[in-house]
Structure 1
């Protein structure tokens, strides 16, 4: 007796930005929408209310344009100022050198998933949400997916399953490359007395990088510090917190005058290929990175773009093998670059002098700035 064909060609577990981008790209490349299952535990409305800020590279904009999900409400980054607190040397990357409208953009998670949800809707992709994936069983010829929806359990089958739901570091199954950085990221929106329009800042301190990304008339703050410092900072009132922020960042933006509710989460690296013949991972499900340089989402969208191109040729194990091979270089370079920046340049070691000298050299040598900017915008190509 012949086995029944699978319910779907491709099931995507996780309808965040990477998962929805993959689904829309598949249809763009002529995969029938009814052969795609897009599964997520949250409703689109719940995801759309997520206020977190995201850094989008120019290369990510190109991917979003391909599926009609651009423009999204976002603030353009024209310059990126990189420096080390208390050390000589800094570098400025400017859009003018690359003849682009922007080096990147700062948007909100909710705004991006709203646009991607609309793109999936236009493409005819019917998402299963809210639905919780409770188990995956890889079998000869297909994968069985246990799903709980509206309190009822059922099993779906697909030729290929793509994991696109990563979660936070510390809540994930350990991969082959795992490192706890001993840092906590404090995120918030802050206002300053002398903002510089469209300029982003990456400021290295003794405890970790401090990023300020322009967003509307405010800045999206990602401040990486030791856990005990984070606990202390979260306990301060707004005025005391802003004073501490000013002492850590300096006076390039004047004084800090306002802050939103502060959130915190632990930072670590969790990466490494864990795919199988019929299952692959993209985005945070494949690699959770330190937020330095803002590469996590952009790397995930590049994953989606390559995987969509291959699966459009056939939802088969051979295509997944090609995917892992093609993504190895970009993933490895981005993982090791962010890991090095997070570890080597976030302490009081002699390497901090090297950082200052390196930034000064990069600023004086145009080709070095171009290489760094190309990596940040497009990854390894």
Structure 2
């Protein structure tokens, strides 16, 4: 579901593309099982008239990092403005806690997440090396230049979900697990939402509905704000190298798409998360290669900056595209995170932008309550950051794949020029680390 089309007859899955939430405390498997709260009225039926008592002030559909963070932040702010909050989670208990995939979280995201809980297994990124294959030019971004302990961090997806889930479980947030939400119905004063569980179906009424669910690009319907198929597929996995540079992240642009290597630690700091973007045809061919042949081709594409690639594990692939809503708010429904914008992984901005969405929404709800005024304030506060981040990501994804010699030289000049124009380099880096805040 997107905030721009709230009445389409399709289920809201209740989890983002990768996430669910571990359930280590509750043994109640009914669809209205709550963590730390009471059950809402289970007698409500579909089609009841507006004006009935609300079950919740805010209902969040999606229990990935963005939905969990929003629930946690709202619970922290309950001392100043108490809001009843529900979290709809389609995943089975503990399904996300073991997810081994690596994600990048900026220093700005760490700063807003730490009051909730920060995973212990994060690997710091101290330097980012950006270059392009077959052309001169490169730029380096170092944490010391910006007075930061790190530019960002790499951690397991399961780690951040588990850490946030443990925080939310200790709050009065009502967590409906293994439960799916159907298409919402808007009314003048709220939203009616039908939820389904193997034990039965119930209807909830909420003042505001937040869509924080995700989904991969190729599984989504066009959202109306901008859709683009990049004609690229991302090959992901974990690789080991013979001459590692710990705490250095790499972005290497090629004519088919970028190659990113993110430090994940491991023995001697030799393990890196790989995101290799290429054409769907090449991705299909490479997916069938034996490990040795795959690593050889990766070495040719990336170069020998860290010696040889010696090992690859957990290979997977997924198509890449841009899909964003035009307006974050539609009546009393608001989209955040991957429900609002699915981005190309270049520069690793998707999750960070979604966390800023959630943080700004929590601020607006704490100030204005569960009201249309809060949603209007939220939408205004997010406009500039979304426009700049989506635009920059889309430009990078397309600009460096144009295989034209003269343009390659211009790109090389631009990368090199950043080293000699510190204010521009700093502005770009801080946008990627902190975004725009109002």
Say whether the 8 Å CA contact 1:144–1:158 is kept in structure 2: yes
Q: Secondary structure at the match of 2:150?
A: coil
What CA deviation, in whole Å up to 9, does each residue of 1:310-331 have, x standing for no partner?
1123101121111111101000
Structure 2 portions without partners, runs of 5+: 1-48
Say whether the 8 Å CA contact 1:72–1:112 is kept in structure 2: no
| 2:182 alignment counterpart | 134
Q: Tell me by how many angstroms 1:298 deviates.
A: 0.2
**Aligned: 1:335 with 2:390:** yes
Say whether the 8 Å CA contact 1:77–1:102 is kept in structure 2: yes
Q: Secondary structure at the match of 1:42?
A: coil
What is the rounded CA distance, in whole Å, between the counterparts of 2:96 and 2:428 in structure 1?
33
Q: Tell me by how many angstroms 1:124 deviates.
A: 2.8
| 2:355 alignment counterpart | 301
Q: With structure 2 as the length reference, what TM-score do the two structures score? A: 0.84
| 1:191 alignment counterpart | 240
**Aligned: 1:37 with 2:86:** yes
**Aligned: 1:125 with 2:173:** yes
| 1:116 alignment counterpart | 164
Q: Tell me by how many angstroms 1:28 deviates.
A: 1.1
Say whether the 8 Å CA contact 1:175–1:274 is kept in structure 2: no
Q: Tell me by how many angstroms 1:364 deviates.
A: 2.3
**Aligned: 1:362 with 2:418:** yes
Alpha-carbon distance change, 170 to 352 in structure 1, aligned in 2, over 3 angstroms: same
Q: Tell me by how many angstroms 1:122 deviates.
A: 1.9
**Aligned: 1:91 with 2:139:** yes
Q: Tell me by how many angstroms 1:149 deviates.
A: 1.3
What CA deviation, in whole Å up to 9, does each residue of 1:98-122 have, x standing for no partner?
1111100001110000000011012
Correspondent of 2:337 among 279, 283, 297: 283
| 2:217 alignment counterpart | 169
Q: With structure 1 as the length reference, what TM-score do the two structures score? A: 0.97
What CA deviation, in whole Å up to 9, does each residue of 1:340-364 have, x standing for no partner?
0001112303432221111100022
Q: Tell me by how many angstroms 1:156 deviates.
A: 0.8
What is the rounded CA distance, in whole Å, between the counterparts of 1:17 and 1:328 in structure 2?
22
What is the rounded CA distance, in whole Å, between the counterparts of 1:164 and 1:103 in structure 2?
26
Q: Tell me by how many angstroms 1:71 deviates.
A: 4.1
Correspondent of 1:70 among 94, 99, 118: 118
What CA deviation, in whole Å up to 9, does each residue of 1:223-269 have, x standing for no partner?
00000000010010000000000000000010000000310000000
What is the rounded CA distance, in whole Å, between the counterparts of 2:330 and 2:432 in structure 1?
29
Q: Which runs of 4+ in 1 moved over 4 A?
A: 31-34
Correspondent of 1:320 among 372, 375, 379: 375
| 2:309 alignment counterpart | 256
**Of Structure 1 and Structure 2, which has the larger fraction of its residues in helix?**
1
Q: Tell me by how many angstroms 1:135 deviates.
A: 2.1
| 2:262 alignment counterpart | 213
**Aligned: 1:204 with 2:258:** no
Say whether the 8 Å CA contact 2:295–2:311 is kept in structure 1: yes
What is the rounded CA distance, in whole Å, between the counterparts of 1:30 and 1:241 in structure 2?
52
What is the rounded CA distance, in whole Å, between the counterparts of 2:289 and 2:119 in structure 1?
38
Q: Tell me by how many angstroms 1:43 deviates.
A: 3.1
